[in-house]
């Protein structure tokens, strides 16, 4: 159906020519009563004539339309609106279009050049719109157009005055859009391009003739129609094309540390990151803008400092050593997409072969039990660390050629899928000072469709970065365990090939140390060395075969310490001791008898034990997993959280409209706790939400504020505390 403006009263300012004339004609053609305003000034704002407006009114009337002329300046805003009321009894639509130019290079811009431009464009639009506002508000309908310009959006030589006024109008529109919303008053801004007397001085005549005002006008009509719900938009329009603009903001960087002054050097050092638009966000309100600042405050607040009580001397050593990362600092989340090819390539990388028929389930995607080797779980999480992850941490100015992989822990919560998308979130769990070097403990949670699949802990040794007065041990570190003092229960000897590292690196560890002889020589090695995680993969699959019949669902966790390098082509001897469901491991290079993996062990699920996949998940509730993750975090960081949060939150989880579970996070008492079921005490804030919506919120797919306003999330108690809750869910569940 065609868009009609029957019954609507429209004021178009500066409608004696150019774009304004076109709007006036078009509105009138579609039934509107139009006030054709034009002062009849020259392009610089001088002179006055009624001829321009009269001519357009005549044109409209000749075609059977309704129009009256008005010759006042937009600086007399009330009079323009009065003209509409006098002639047609109401005002529905205001198109702020009147304009002049007084172009000068900036130093030559006089006070008058400046003031006149602000007065006509910005102040004029303010006065006219303010005069119309209450009428629109009372009738619960209003449509306002502001006319900005590319010169304002992007800047243009010689138009400092005009650019400032034009973007000022956008600012005005942004706020009117917010204030008008509840009265059905919408305000949008256009930056048009059209041939007119204003542009004929700057554009070649052909272009002036081709860029017709009629290629702009339909956007204005649409934005002013009842059906159009657009509000607060900014559009570039010309030549029959329309595009919408919005703000984009880089992810940015936090450049200060808790309790330390912010300085320009830190800004300089992070400049590239501050200005990097990768994964940029698009904030659309001051609320969103402020929210990110508040979350920075909360994030900084929850940081620990390195060393419990650094003395002045050690504190200065910390800052000079280059290792002063915020513990608890998150690395950018990373996404890992894979399919059977990566699984098979990894299996080949850790020495699986079709020579062993029972390896086929890891090498052939058509195998009925085709599976991913459990230790593949290190690959996606390593990607989180490698893709610039560690180097993005403020305060972690380490020499990456001096980094050694010290230890690794991996725990699976369910068997790995053989394809899909995994998301990993890495956190600096702790930083230790070992004198000769620093150890960075990095915890990585990896999720598949929001479900926690595995947890990795990397211990990274940075040679030469110690001596900053930090602690030597961490309760967060997963410990290595010595093997029993008896002969091993099983020994498997397996040769690596000359190309083992060349093959393994295709799974994602591209460090030239493992392929480039000259690079290896620089590191003091006689030849490129095998990846520590490759030997780790060898050892793990030896255990899986020996004690779990190659059943990946039996695998629970593995811990190893990397002691010495292995050269591709050497044979690995894995010695295994079974102690219940724990298999202790030691790996040696057979040719040299050198221990390469020590203190290592694998925990298996007992045969009778159901695999975690089959465990009942709280009556099929997805939220159960999130709470279990929170429970783990409270165990690790409980007292710290109690200090920061000091509140009790209850969650009533519903499923299919019925109460399905209740969880209470107590971050007030003792070292913090998670309760399942009815809570004996009093919660400070209680939420009721469905299982699906809860998980969506934690995954960041559902905005909690929106959920609250749409009734999907109900809350009772001290709502202000929800700020803190976001920190817990975001930082500690991190799905
Ligand atoms: P135009 O010069 O043809 O139209 C502007 C009209 O405003 C004139 O008829 C003029 O007499 C009138 N006017 C000037 N001062 C007035 C006042 N104090 N009170 C009432 N009327 C007054 O120019 P055009 O190109 O049609 O421009 C329309 C609007 O679009 C202006 O705001 C201009 O800045 C803006 N614009 C135009 C672009 C283009 O490519 N034509 C580019 C970017 C913005």
Between 399 and 200, where is the model more confident?
200
CB of 77 closer than 6 angstroms to any ligand 1 atom: no
| Average pLDDT over all residues of the chain | 87
Range of lowest pLDDT (246-255, 306-315, 631-640, 650-659): 306-315
Candidates 196, 211, 214: which one to mutate for ligand 1, based on the most atoms within 8 Å of Cβ?
A: 196
Q: What is the mean pLDDT of residues 544-565?
A: 94
Say what the alpha-carbon torsion angle 668, 672, 675, 680 is, to the nearest 10 degrees.
-40
Ligand 1 atom at shortest distance from the alpha carbon of 238: 40
Range of lowest pLDDT (73-82, 332-341, 425-434, 589-598): 425-434
Which residue of the set 23, 71, 154, 162 is catalytic? 162
Evaluate if residue 95 carries a pLDDT over 80: yes
Per residue, the 3-state secondary structure of 712-723, as one string, reads CEEEEECHHHHH
Predicted local distance difference test score (pLDDT) of residue 541: 96
CB of 19 closer than 6 angstroms to any ligand 1 atom: yes
Banded model confidence at residue 81, pLDDT cuts 50, 70, 90? very high
Range of lowest pLDDT (10-14, 508-512, 559-563): 508-512
Evaluate if residue 263 carries a pLDDT over 70: yes
Candidates 39, 74, 163, 198: which one to mutate for ligand 1, based on the most atoms within 8 Å of Cβ?
A: 198
Range of lowest pLDDT (152-166, 572-586, 594-608): 594-608
Predicted local distance difference test score (pLDDT) of residue 314: 28
| Residue range 99-134, pLDDT digits in tens | 999 999 999 999 999 999 999 999 999 999 999 999
Range of lowest pLDDT (295-304, 552-561, 596-605): 295-304
Q: What is the mean pLDDT of residues 558-570?
A: 95
Banded model confidence at residue 308, pLDDT cuts 50, 70, 90? very low
| Dihedral pair phi/psi, residue 16, rounded to 5° | -80, -10
Which residue has a Cα nearest atom 1 of ligand 1? 18
| Residue range 701-734, pLDDT digits in tens | 787 777 777 778 888 887 777 777 766 666 544 4
Query: Cα of 120 to ligand 1 centre, how many Å?
Result: 10
Predicted local distance difference test score (pLDDT) of residue 88: 98
Predicted local distance difference test score (pLDDT) of residue 303: 53
Predicted local distance difference test score (pLDDT) of residue 304: 40
Evaluate if residue 584 carries a pLDDT over 90: yes
Evaluate if residue 609 carries a pLDDT over 70: no
Query: Cα of 696 to ligand 1 centre, how many Å?
Result: 49
Side-chain-side CA neighbours of residue 104 (13 Å): 14
Neighbours of 420 (CB within 10 A): 13
CB of 147 closer than 6 angstroms to any ligand 1 atom: yes
Banded model confidence at residue 385, pLDDT cuts 50, 70, 90? confident
What's the chain's Rg over C-alpha atoms?
Answer: 34
Banded model confidence at residue 485, pLDDT cuts 50, 70, 90? very high
Evaluate if residue 612 carries a pLDDT over 50: no
Evaluate if residue 324 carries a pLDDT over 60: no
Q: What percent of the chain has pLDDT over 70?
A: 90
CB of 699 closer than 6 angstroms to any ligand 1 atom: no
Cα–Cα distance between 43 and 49 in angstroms, integer? 13
Candidates 14, 50, 237: which one to mutate for ligand 1, based on the most atoms within 8 Å of Cβ?
A: 14
Q: What percent of the chain has pLDDT over 90?
A: 57
Q: What is the mean pLDDT of residues 64-76?
A: 98
Interhelix angle 378-386/532-548, rounded to 10 degrees, is: 160
User: Left (φ > 0), alpha (ψ -120 to 50) or beta: where does 29 sit?
Assistant: alpha
Q: What is the mean pLDDT of residues 593-619?
A: 70
Between 714 and 292, where is the model more confident?
714
3-state secondary structure of 574: strand
CB of 169 closer than 6 angstroms to any ligand 1 atom: no
* Residue that has been written with the tokens 């501050």 in this structure: 274
CB of 16 closer than 6 angstroms to any ligand 1 atom: yes
Q: What is the mean pLDDT of residues 647-660?
A: 87
One-character DSSP codes across 579-613 = ETTEEEEEEEETTT--EEEEEEEEEE--SSSPPGG
Q: Which two tokens stand for residue 720?
A: 């202000």
CB of 193 closer than 6 angstroms to any ligand 1 atom: yes
CB of 14 closer than 6 angstroms to any ligand 1 atom: yes
Long-range pairs for 590-594: beta carbons < 8 A, 24 or more residues apart:
590/493, 594/563, 594/564
Residue 162 annotated among the catalytic residues of the structure? yes
Between 291 and 645, where is the model more confident?
645
Cα–Cα distance between 695 and 689 in angstroms, integer? 10
Q: What is the mean pLDDT of residues 166-189?
A: 97
């Amino acid at each position: 159906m065609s868009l009609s403006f029957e019954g609507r009263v429209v004021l178009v300012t500066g409608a004696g020519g150019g774009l304004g004339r076109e709007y006036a004609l078009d509105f009138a053609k579609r039934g509107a009563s139009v006030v054709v305003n034009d002062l009849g000034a020259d392009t610089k704002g001088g002179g006055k004539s009624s001829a321009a407006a009269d001519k357009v009114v005549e044109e409209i009337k000749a075609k059977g339309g309704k129009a009256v002329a008005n010759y006042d300046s937009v600086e007399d805003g009330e009079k323009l609106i009065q003209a509409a009321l006098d002639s047609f009894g109401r005002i529905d639509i205001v198109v702020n279009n009147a304009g002049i130019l007084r172009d000068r290079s900036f130093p030559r811009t006089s006070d008058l050049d400046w003031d006149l431009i602000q007065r006509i464009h910005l102040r004029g639009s303010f006065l006219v719109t303010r005069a119309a506002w209450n009428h629109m508000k009372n009738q619960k309908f209003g449509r306002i157009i502001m006319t900005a310009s590319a010169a304002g959006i992007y800047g243009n030589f010689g138009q400092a005055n005009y650019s400032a006024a034009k973007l000022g109008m956008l600012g005005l529109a942004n706020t009117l859009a917010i204030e008008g919303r509840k009265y059905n008053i919408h305000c949008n801004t256009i930056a048009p391009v059209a041939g007119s007397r204003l542009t004929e001085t700057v554009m070649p005549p052909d272009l002036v003739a081709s860029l017709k005002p009629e290629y702009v006008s339909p956007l204005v009509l649409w934005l002013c129609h009842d059906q159009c719900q657009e509000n607060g938009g900014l559009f570039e329009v010309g030549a029959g094309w329309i595009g919408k603009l919005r703000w984009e903001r880089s992810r940015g960087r936090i450049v200060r540390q808790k309790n330390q002054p912010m300085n320009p050097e830190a800004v300089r050092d992070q400049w590239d990151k501050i200005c990097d638009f990768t994964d940029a966000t698009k904030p659309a309100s001051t609320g969103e803008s402020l929210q990110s600042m508040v979350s920075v405050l909360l994030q900084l607040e929850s940081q620990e400092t390195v060393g419990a009580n650094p003395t002045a001397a050690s504190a200065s050593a910390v800052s000079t050593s280059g290792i002063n990362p915020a513990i608890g600092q998150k690395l950018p989340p990373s996404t890992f997409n894979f399919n059977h090819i990566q699984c098979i390539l990894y299996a080949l990388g850790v020495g699986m072969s079709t020579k062993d028929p029972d390896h086929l389930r890891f090498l052939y995607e058509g195998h009925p039990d085709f599976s991913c080797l459990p230790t593949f779980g290190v690959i996606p999480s390593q990607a989180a660390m490698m893709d610039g992850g560690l180097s993005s941490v403020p305060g972690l100015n380490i020499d990456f050629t001096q980094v050694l992989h010290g230890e690794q822990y991996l725990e699976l919560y369910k068997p790995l899928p053989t394809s899909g998308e995994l998301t990993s979130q890495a956190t600096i769990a702790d930083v230790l000072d070992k004198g000769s070097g620093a150890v960075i403990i990095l915890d990585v949670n990896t999720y598949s469709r929001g479900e926690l699949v595995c947890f990795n802990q990397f211990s990274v040794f940075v040679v030469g970065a110690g001596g900053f007065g930090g602690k030597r041990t961490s309760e967060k570190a997963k410990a290595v365990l010595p093997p029993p003092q008896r002969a091993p229960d099983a020994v498997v000897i397996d040769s690596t090939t000359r190309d083992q590292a060349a093959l393994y690196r295709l799974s994602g560890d591209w460090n030239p140390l493992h392929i480039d002889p000259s690079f290896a020589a620089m590191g003091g090695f006689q030849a490129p060395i095998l990846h520590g995680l490759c030997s780790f993969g060898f050892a793990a699959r030896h255990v899986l075969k020996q004690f779990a019949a190659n059943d990946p669902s039996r695998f629970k966790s593995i811990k190893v310490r990397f002691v010495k390098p292995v050269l591709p082509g050497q044979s690995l001897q894995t010695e295994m001791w079974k102690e219940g469901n724990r298999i202790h491991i030691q790996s040696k290079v057979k040719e040299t008898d050198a221990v390469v993996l020590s203190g290592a062990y694998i925990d298996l699920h007992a045969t009778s034990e159901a695999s975690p996949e089959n465990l009942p998940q709280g009556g099929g509730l997805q939220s159960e997993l999130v709470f279990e993750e929170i429970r783990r975090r409270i165990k690790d960081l409980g007292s710290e959280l109690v200090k920061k949060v000091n509140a009790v939150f209850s969650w009533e989880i519903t499923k299919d409209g019925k109460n399905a579970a209740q969880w209470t996070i107590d971050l007030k008492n003792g070292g913090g706790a998670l309760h399942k079921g009815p809570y004996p005490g009093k919660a400070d804030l209680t939420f009721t939400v469905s299982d699906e919506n809860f998980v969506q919120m934690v995954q960041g797919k559902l905005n909690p504020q929106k959920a609250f306003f749409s009734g999907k999330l109900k809350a009772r108690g001290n709502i202000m505390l929800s700020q803190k809750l976001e920190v817990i869910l975001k930082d500690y569940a991190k799905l």
